[in-house]
Amino acid sequence: MRKMQQKLELPNGSILKNRLVMAPMTNKMSFYNGVVTSDELCYYAFRTGDVGMMITAAAYVKSEGKGWDGQLGASDDKHLLGLSKLAATMKQSGTKAILQIFHAGRRTNSKILHGIQPVSASAVASLEADAEIPQQVSTNEIEHLIEAFARATKRAIQAGFDGVEIHGANGYLLQQFYSPHANVRDDEWGGNRENRYRFIKMLVERVCETAKAESEQPFIVGYRFSPEEGQHPGITLDDTLYLVEQLLQQPVDYLHVSLAEFQSKASSSVNHQEKMIGAYLQEIVAERVPLIGVGGVKTMRDVETALETFDCIAIGRALLIDPRWAEKILADQEAMIRRELILIDRPVNYISNGALDFLTNRMA
Ligand SMILES: Cc1cc2nc3c(=O)[nH]c(=O)nc-3n(C[C@H](O)[C@H](O)[C@H](O)COP(=O)(O)O)c2cc1C
Protein backbone atom coordinates (compact mmCIF):
# COMPACT_ATOMS: atom_id res chain seq x y z
CA MET A 1 0.00 0.00 0.00
CA ARG A 2 1.30 3.45 -0.89
CA LYS A 3 1.95 5.82 2.00
CA MET A 4 -0.72 8.26 0.78
CA GLN A 5 -3.35 5.51 1.23
CA GLN A 6 -2.32 4.68 4.78
CA LYS A 7 -4.50 5.66 7.72
CA LEU A 8 -3.14 8.04 10.31
CA GLU A 9 -4.07 8.20 13.97
CA LEU A 10 -3.90 11.66 15.54
CA PRO A 11 -2.84 12.11 19.19
CA ASN A 12 -6.50 12.41 20.31
CA GLY A 13 -7.39 9.06 18.71
CA SER A 14 -9.12 10.46 15.58
CA ILE A 15 -8.25 8.50 12.45
CA LEU A 16 -7.60 10.04 9.04
CA LYS A 17 -8.46 7.54 6.31
CA ASN A 18 -5.51 8.64 4.17
CA ARG A 19 -2.68 11.19 4.02
CA LEU A 20 -4.24 13.65 1.55
CA VAL A 21 -5.66 16.92 2.90
CA MET A 22 -7.49 19.67 1.08
CA ALA A 23 -5.62 22.88 1.93
CA PRO A 24 -7.59 25.82 3.34
CA MET A 25 -8.59 28.01 0.39
CA THR A 26 -10.48 31.25 0.50
CA ASN A 27 -13.26 31.36 -2.07
CA LYS A 28 -15.02 34.63 -1.11
CA MET A 29 -18.36 32.93 -1.70
CA SER A 30 -20.12 33.70 1.61
CA PHE A 31 -22.88 36.29 2.03
CA TYR A 32 -21.94 39.89 3.03
CA ASN A 33 -22.47 38.86 6.69
CA GLY A 34 -20.32 35.72 6.62
CA VAL A 35 -23.19 33.24 6.26
CA VAL A 36 -22.47 30.24 4.02
CA THR A 37 -24.12 30.29 0.57
CA SER A 38 -25.54 27.30 -1.33
CA ASP A 39 -22.92 27.75 -4.07
CA GLU A 40 -20.26 27.52 -1.41
CA LEU A 41 -21.71 24.22 -0.18
CA CYS A 42 -21.55 22.91 -3.76
CA TYR A 43 -17.92 24.04 -4.03
CA TYR A 44 -17.00 21.88 -1.01
CA ALA A 45 -19.31 18.99 -1.96
CA PHE A 46 -17.48 18.63 -5.30
CA ARG A 47 -14.11 18.28 -3.60
CA THR A 48 -14.80 16.15 -0.54
CA GLY A 49 -15.07 12.40 0.09
CA ASP A 50 -11.67 11.26 -1.16
CA VAL A 51 -9.24 13.30 0.94
CA GLY A 52 -8.64 12.19 4.53
CA MET A 53 -9.20 15.70 5.84
CA MET A 54 -10.65 18.89 4.36
CA ILE A 55 -9.94 22.34 5.80
CA THR A 56 -12.33 25.23 5.12
CA ALA A 57 -11.41 28.69 3.89
CA ALA A 58 -10.29 30.96 6.73
CA ALA A 59 -13.31 31.96 8.86
CA TYR A 60 -13.15 35.17 10.91
CA VAL A 61 -13.77 34.83 14.66
CA LYS A 62 -14.56 38.52 15.28
CA SER A 63 -16.13 40.99 12.86
CA GLU A 64 -13.12 43.36 13.34
CA GLY A 65 -10.92 40.52 12.16
CA LYS A 66 -12.62 40.08 8.81
CA GLY A 67 -10.03 40.09 6.03
CA TRP A 68 -12.08 40.47 2.83
CA ASP A 69 -15.59 40.69 1.43
CA GLY A 70 -17.29 37.34 0.94
CA GLN A 71 -15.35 35.76 3.82
CA LEU A 72 -16.84 32.92 5.83
CA GLY A 73 -17.82 33.91 9.38
CA ALA A 74 -17.66 32.03 12.71
CA SER A 75 -17.97 35.10 14.90
CA ASP A 76 -21.63 34.96 15.81
CA ASP A 77 -24.38 32.42 16.50
CA LYS A 78 -26.09 33.62 13.31
CA HIS A 79 -23.35 31.67 11.47
CA LEU A 80 -24.22 28.39 13.18
CA LEU A 81 -26.90 27.06 10.85
CA GLY A 82 -24.75 27.58 7.75
CA LEU A 83 -21.69 26.15 9.50
CA SER A 84 -23.72 23.02 10.35
CA LYS A 85 -24.65 22.61 6.69
CA LEU A 86 -21.01 23.11 5.75
CA ALA A 87 -19.73 20.50 8.23
CA ALA A 88 -22.35 17.98 7.05
CA THR A 89 -21.40 18.64 3.42
CA MET A 90 -17.70 18.14 4.06
CA LYS A 91 -18.10 14.95 6.13
CA GLN A 92 -18.69 12.60 3.22
CA SER A 93 -17.26 9.07 3.14
CA GLY A 94 -15.27 9.61 6.31
CA THR A 95 -13.46 12.82 5.31
CA LYS A 96 -12.69 14.83 8.47
CA ALA A 97 -14.09 18.38 8.37
CA ILE A 98 -11.92 21.12 9.87
CA LEU A 99 -12.90 24.78 10.29
CA GLN A 100 -9.96 27.17 9.89
CA ILE A 101 -10.33 29.95 12.49
CA PHE A 102 -8.77 33.32 11.73
CA HIS A 103 -8.30 36.99 12.59
CA ALA A 104 -6.75 39.30 9.98
CA GLY A 105 -5.16 41.71 12.46
CA ARG A 106 -3.45 44.44 10.44
CA ARG A 107 -3.97 42.60 7.12
CA THR A 108 -7.39 44.15 6.48
CA ASN A 109 -8.57 47.74 6.09
CA SER A 110 -11.18 50.21 7.26
CA LYS A 111 -13.18 49.83 4.03
CA ILE A 112 -13.77 46.13 4.66
CA LEU A 113 -14.43 46.93 8.33
CA HIS A 114 -16.89 49.74 7.44
CA GLY A 115 -14.91 52.54 9.04
CA ILE A 116 -13.30 50.62 11.90
CA GLN A 117 -9.52 50.77 12.21
CA PRO A 118 -7.82 47.35 12.02
CA VAL A 119 -6.08 46.11 15.18
CA SER A 120 -2.76 44.39 15.75
CA ALA A 121 -0.07 43.66 18.33
CA SER A 122 1.40 47.14 17.71
CA ALA A 123 0.63 50.22 15.66
CA VAL A 124 2.90 49.14 12.78
CA ALA A 125 1.57 48.87 9.24
CA SER A 126 2.44 45.83 7.15
CA LEU A 127 4.74 46.34 4.16
CA GLU A 128 1.92 45.71 1.68
CA ALA A 129 0.84 48.50 -0.66
CA ASP A 130 -1.88 50.73 0.88
CA ALA A 131 -1.52 49.04 4.29
CA GLU A 132 -3.17 51.03 7.09
CA ILE A 133 -1.64 51.67 10.49
CA PRO A 134 -3.50 49.40 12.94
CA GLN A 135 -4.47 50.21 16.48
CA GLN A 136 -2.43 48.44 19.17
CA VAL A 137 -4.67 46.18 21.26
CA SER A 138 -4.80 46.64 25.06
CA THR A 139 -4.31 43.74 27.48
CA ASN A 140 -8.06 43.72 28.01
CA GLU A 141 -8.68 43.45 24.27
CA ILE A 142 -6.17 40.60 24.07
CA GLU A 143 -8.39 38.63 26.46
CA HIS A 144 -11.39 39.33 24.19
CA LEU A 145 -9.49 38.14 21.13
CA ILE A 146 -8.56 34.88 22.83
CA GLU A 147 -12.18 34.44 23.93
CA ALA A 148 -13.35 35.00 20.34
CA PHE A 149 -11.20 32.06 19.17
CA ALA A 150 -12.61 29.93 22.01
CA ARG A 151 -16.19 30.85 21.09
CA ALA A 152 -15.59 30.09 17.40
CA THR A 153 -14.24 26.68 18.51
CA LYS A 154 -17.43 26.07 20.47
CA ARG A 155 -19.46 26.96 17.37
CA ALA A 156 -17.38 24.53 15.29
CA ILE A 157 -18.23 21.80 17.82
CA GLN A 158 -21.92 22.73 17.86
CA ALA A 159 -21.95 22.75 14.04
CA GLY A 160 -20.55 19.21 13.89
CA PHE A 161 -17.02 19.85 12.62
CA ASP A 162 -14.36 17.27 13.53
CA GLY A 163 -11.91 19.98 14.48
CA VAL A 164 -10.48 23.46 14.04
CA GLU A 165 -7.25 24.68 12.54
CA ILE A 166 -5.87 27.81 14.22
CA HIS A 167 -4.60 30.07 11.44
CA GLY A 168 -1.23 31.21 12.71
CA ALA A 169 0.25 31.63 9.21
CA ASN A 170 0.41 33.96 6.20
CA GLY A 171 0.98 37.15 8.17
CA TYR A 172 -2.37 37.30 10.00
CA LEU A 173 -2.99 38.22 13.66
CA LEU A 174 -1.31 35.30 15.43
CA GLN A 175 1.79 35.63 13.29
CA GLN A 176 1.75 39.40 13.91
CA PHE A 177 2.11 38.79 17.64
CA TYR A 178 5.09 36.49 17.03
CA SER A 179 6.71 38.74 14.42
CA PRO A 180 9.45 41.16 15.53
CA HIS A 181 8.30 43.39 12.65
CA ALA A 182 4.64 43.65 13.68
CA ASN A 183 5.10 43.37 17.45
CA VAL A 184 7.19 46.12 19.07
CA ARG A 185 5.34 46.10 22.42
CA ASP A 186 7.31 46.61 25.59
CA ASP A 187 4.88 44.79 27.91
CA GLU A 188 4.57 41.06 28.67
CA TRP A 189 3.08 40.48 25.17
CA GLY A 190 6.10 41.76 23.24
CA GLY A 191 9.87 42.11 23.25
CA ASN A 192 11.73 38.80 23.49
CA ARG A 193 10.67 35.58 21.75
CA GLU A 194 9.00 34.16 24.87
CA ASN A 195 6.83 37.27 25.27
CA ARG A 196 5.96 37.41 21.57
CA TYR A 197 4.82 33.78 21.85
CA ARG A 198 2.57 34.49 24.87
CA PHE A 199 -0.54 35.41 22.83
CA ILE A 200 -0.30 32.19 20.80
CA LYS A 201 0.31 30.17 23.97
CA MET A 202 -2.75 31.52 25.78
CA LEU A 203 -4.92 31.24 22.68
CA VAL A 204 -3.96 27.63 21.89
CA GLU A 205 -4.49 26.75 25.56
CA ARG A 206 -8.01 28.22 25.53
CA VAL A 207 -8.95 26.55 22.25
CA CYS A 208 -7.69 23.15 23.50
CA GLU A 209 -9.55 23.60 26.82
CA THR A 210 -12.75 24.48 24.92
CA ALA A 211 -12.35 21.43 22.68
CA LYS A 212 -12.00 19.20 25.74
CA ALA A 213 -14.83 20.77 27.72
CA GLU A 214 -17.42 21.18 24.97
CA SER A 215 -17.01 18.14 22.74
CA GLU A 216 -18.21 14.67 23.62
CA GLN A 217 -16.00 13.12 20.94
CA PRO A 218 -12.30 13.68 20.32
CA PHE A 219 -12.11 17.10 18.67
CA ILE A 220 -9.06 17.90 16.52
CA VAL A 221 -7.05 21.08 17.15
CA GLY A 222 -4.43 21.86 14.49
CA TYR A 223 -2.09 24.82 14.13
CA ARG A 224 -0.88 26.36 10.86
CA PHE A 225 2.23 28.55 10.74
CA SER A 226 4.53 30.18 8.19
CA PRO A 227 8.16 29.33 8.85
CA GLU A 228 9.76 32.61 7.72
CA GLU A 229 9.01 36.27 7.00
CA GLY A 230 10.70 38.09 4.14
CA GLN A 231 11.26 41.39 5.97
CA HIS A 232 13.96 42.42 8.47
CA PRO A 233 13.36 42.13 11.29
CA GLY A 234 11.07 39.18 10.66
CA ILE A 235 10.41 35.62 11.79
CA THR A 236 13.38 33.36 11.01
CA LEU A 237 13.48 29.59 10.81
CA ASP A 238 15.24 29.62 14.20
CA ASP A 239 12.23 31.47 15.65
CA THR A 240 9.95 28.88 14.07
CA LEU A 241 11.84 25.93 15.51
CA TYR A 242 11.34 27.56 18.94
CA LEU A 243 7.62 28.11 18.14
CA VAL A 244 7.16 24.48 17.16
CA GLU A 245 8.85 23.24 20.34
CA GLN A 246 6.51 25.46 22.39
CA LEU A 247 3.41 24.35 20.48
CA LEU A 248 4.34 20.74 21.17
CA GLN A 249 3.98 21.44 24.89
CA GLN A 250 0.24 21.90 24.23
CA PRO A 251 -2.26 19.18 23.33
CA VAL A 252 -2.38 20.03 19.61
CA ASP A 253 -3.23 17.18 17.24
CA TYR A 254 -1.26 18.29 14.20
CA LEU A 255 0.98 21.05 12.89
CA HIS A 256 0.67 22.43 9.37
CA VAL A 257 3.47 24.40 7.76
CA SER A 258 2.40 26.91 5.12
CA LEU A 259 4.88 26.81 2.21
CA ALA A 260 4.63 27.95 -1.41
CA GLU A 261 6.77 24.93 -2.39
CA PHE A 262 6.91 21.85 -0.17
CA GLN A 263 10.63 21.44 -0.90
CA SER A 264 11.54 25.06 0.01
CA LYS A 265 14.82 25.78 1.74
CA ALA A 266 15.29 28.45 4.39
CA SER A 267 16.24 31.97 3.33
CA SER A 268 16.42 33.37 6.87
CA SER A 269 19.01 31.14 8.52
CA VAL A 270 22.55 30.37 7.40
CA ASN A 271 22.68 27.41 9.82
CA HIS A 272 19.83 25.62 8.06
CA GLN A 273 20.83 25.41 4.42
CA GLU A 274 21.59 21.74 4.01
CA LYS A 275 18.07 20.33 4.09
CA MET A 276 14.63 21.57 3.22
CA ILE A 277 12.55 23.42 5.82
CA GLY A 278 10.25 20.41 6.30
CA ALA A 279 13.18 18.19 7.30
CA TYR A 280 14.34 20.65 9.99
CA LEU A 281 10.81 20.88 11.31
CA GLN A 282 10.51 17.09 11.49
CA GLU A 283 13.72 16.90 13.54
CA ILE A 284 12.02 19.02 16.20
CA VAL A 285 8.59 17.42 15.89
CA ALA A 286 10.17 13.96 16.26
CA GLU A 287 6.91 12.07 15.64
CA ARG A 288 5.15 13.74 18.56
CA VAL A 289 2.33 14.94 16.24
CA PRO A 290 1.77 14.63 12.49
CA LEU A 291 3.25 17.42 10.38
CA ILE A 292 1.32 18.46 7.28
CA GLY A 293 3.25 19.93 4.35
CA VAL A 294 1.90 21.90 1.40
CA GLY A 295 2.98 23.73 -1.72
CA GLY A 296 3.05 22.93 -5.41
CA VAL A 297 1.86 19.31 -5.25
CA LYS A 298 0.32 18.34 -8.57
CA THR A 299 1.41 14.80 -9.49
CA MET A 300 1.66 11.37 -7.87
CA ARG A 301 5.43 11.81 -7.88
CA ASP A 302 5.05 15.08 -5.93
CA VAL A 303 2.80 13.31 -3.40
CA GLU A 304 5.29 10.50 -2.91
CA THR A 305 8.27 12.84 -2.60
CA ALA A 306 6.39 15.07 -0.14
CA LEU A 307 5.39 12.08 2.00
CA GLU A 308 9.06 11.11 2.41
CA THR A 309 9.28 14.19 4.65
CA PHE A 310 5.75 15.01 5.80
CA ASP A 311 3.14 12.79 7.46
CA CYS A 312 0.34 14.25 5.34
CA ILE A 313 0.31 16.52 2.33
CA ALA A 314 -2.18 19.31 1.67
CA ILE A 315 -3.30 20.13 -1.84
CA GLY A 316 -4.66 23.52 -2.81
CA ARG A 317 -4.69 24.72 -6.41
CA ALA A 318 -4.68 21.25 -7.98
CA LEU A 319 -7.98 20.53 -6.19
CA LEU A 320 -9.45 23.85 -7.24
CA ILE A 321 -8.70 23.18 -10.88
CA ASP A 322 -9.78 19.53 -10.79
CA PRO A 323 -12.28 18.82 -7.98
CA ARG A 324 -11.76 15.04 -8.52
CA TRP A 325 -7.95 15.29 -8.28
CA ALA A 326 -7.72 13.16 -5.11
CA GLU A 327 -10.05 10.47 -6.46
CA LYS A 328 -7.94 10.18 -9.63
CA ILE A 329 -4.62 10.08 -7.74
CA LEU A 330 -5.90 7.45 -5.31
CA ALA A 331 -7.26 5.33 -8.17
CA ASP A 332 -3.99 5.58 -10.13
CA GLN A 333 -5.76 7.51 -12.88
CA GLU A 334 -3.28 10.31 -13.07
CA ALA A 335 -3.63 10.73 -16.83
CA MET A 336 -7.24 11.81 -16.25
CA ILE A 337 -6.29 14.79 -14.10
CA ARG A 338 -7.19 18.19 -15.49
CA ARG A 339 -4.22 20.47 -14.98
CA GLU A 340 -5.28 23.68 -16.72
CA LEU A 341 -7.94 26.02 -15.45
CA ILE A 342 -10.44 26.09 -18.31
CA LEU A 343 -12.55 29.20 -17.85
CA ILE A 344 -15.61 27.73 -19.51
CA ASP A 345 -15.69 25.05 -16.77
CA ARG A 346 -15.63 27.57 -13.93
CA PRO A 347 -19.37 27.51 -13.18
CA VAL A 348 -19.59 23.69 -13.14
CA ASN A 349 -16.60 23.47 -10.82
CA TYR A 350 -17.86 26.33 -8.63
CA ILE A 351 -14.74 28.43 -8.97
CA SER A 352 -16.01 31.87 -7.90
CA ASN A 353 -14.70 35.25 -9.06
CA GLY A 354 -13.14 35.63 -5.63
CA ALA A 355 -11.31 32.31 -5.79
CA LEU A 356 -10.20 33.12 -9.31
CA ASP A 357 -8.69 36.45 -8.18
CA PHE A 358 -6.84 34.70 -5.40
CA LEU A 359 -5.83 31.88 -7.72
CA THR A 360 -4.54 34.03 -10.57
CA ASN A 361 -2.59 36.28 -8.19
CA ARG A 362 -0.97 33.29 -6.55
CA MET A 363 -0.32 31.42 -9.76
CA ALA A 364 1.49 34.37 -11.39
C1 LIG B 1 -7.34 30.54 -3.88
C2 LIG B 1 -6.49 30.35 -2.65
C3 LIG B 1 -6.98 30.71 -1.41
C4 LIG B 1 -6.22 30.47 -0.24
N5 LIG B 1 -6.78 30.75 0.99
C6 LIG B 1 -6.14 30.35 2.13
C7 LIG B 1 -6.79 30.43 3.40
O8 LIG B 1 -7.96 30.83 3.52
N9 LIG B 1 -6.09 30.02 4.49
C10 LIG B 1 -4.81 29.56 4.42
O11 LIG B 1 -4.22 29.19 5.45
N12 LIG B 1 -4.19 29.45 3.21
C13 LIG B 1 -4.82 29.81 2.09
N14 LIG B 1 -4.23 29.62 0.86
C15 LIG B 1 -2.92 28.94 0.78
C16 LIG B 1 -3.14 27.42 0.52
O17 LIG B 1 -3.69 26.79 1.67
C18 LIG B 1 -1.82 26.70 0.16
O19 LIG B 1 -0.93 26.80 1.25
C20 LIG B 1 -1.15 27.26 -1.09
O21 LIG B 1 -2.09 27.44 -2.14
C22 LIG B 1 -0.04 26.31 -1.60
O23 LIG B 1 -0.57 25.05 -1.93
P24 LIG B 1 -0.86 24.61 -3.48
O25 LIG B 1 0.42 24.83 -4.23
O26 LIG B 1 -1.25 23.17 -3.38
O27 LIG B 1 -1.95 25.48 -3.99
C28 LIG B 1 -4.93 29.91 -0.32
C29 LIG B 1 -4.43 29.59 -1.59
C30 LIG B 1 -5.18 29.80 -2.75
C31 LIG B 1 -4.62 29.40 -4.09
Give the pLDDT confidence score for residue 363 in this predicted structure.
43
CA of 24 to the centre of ligand 1 (A): 6
Give the pLDDT confidence score for residue 343 in this predicted structure.
81
Name the closest-CA residue to atom 28, ligand 1.
25
CA of 357 to the centre of ligand 1 (A): 12
Name the closest-CA residue to atom 23, ligand 1.
295
Give the pLDDT confidence score for residue 93 in this predicted structure.
98
Check if 55 has its Cβ closer than 6 Å to any atom of ligand 1: no
Q: Which atom of ligand 1 is nearest to the CA of 355?
A: 1
- pLDDT tens track, the chain, 364 positions: 999 999 999 999 999 999 999 999 999 999 999 999 999 999 999 999 999 999 999 999 999 999 999 999 999 999 999 999 999 999 999 999 999 999 999 999 999 999 999 999 999 999 999 999 999 999 999 999 999 999 999 999 999 999 999 999 999 999 999 999 999 999 999 999 999 999 999 999 999 999 999 999 999 999 999 999 998 999 999 999 999 999 999 999 999 999 999 999 999 888 899 999 999 999 999 999 999 999 999 999 999 999 999 999 999 999 999 999 999 999 999 999 999 888 888 888 888 888 887 777 654 3
Instruction: Look up the domain containing 199 and give its range.
Output: 3-361
Q: Is the peptide bond before 233 cis (omega within 30 degrees of 0)?
A: yes
Q: Which of 97, 100, 94 is nearest to 18 (CA)?
A: 94
Which CATH number goes with the domain that contains 326?
A: 3.20.20.70
CA of 148 to the centre of ligand 1 (A): 23
How many domains does the structure of the chain reveal?
1
Give the pLDDT confidence score for residue 355 in this predicted structure.
82
Listing DSSP states for 69-101 in one string gives TT-EE-SSGGGHHHHHHHHHHH-STT-EEEEEE
Name the closest-CA residue to atom 21, ligand 1.
316
- Amino acid found at 47: R
**Could you tell me if 284 and 245 are in contact, meaning their C-beta atoms sit under 8 angstroms apart?**
yes
Check if 317 has its Cβ closer than 6 Å to any atom of ligand 1: yes
Check if 296 has its Cβ closer than 6 Å to any atom of ligand 1: yes
Residues linked to residue 166 through DSSP beta bridges, in sequence order: 101, 223
Give the pLDDT confidence score for residue 364 in this predicted structure.
31
Separation CA 267–CA 261 (nearest Å): 13
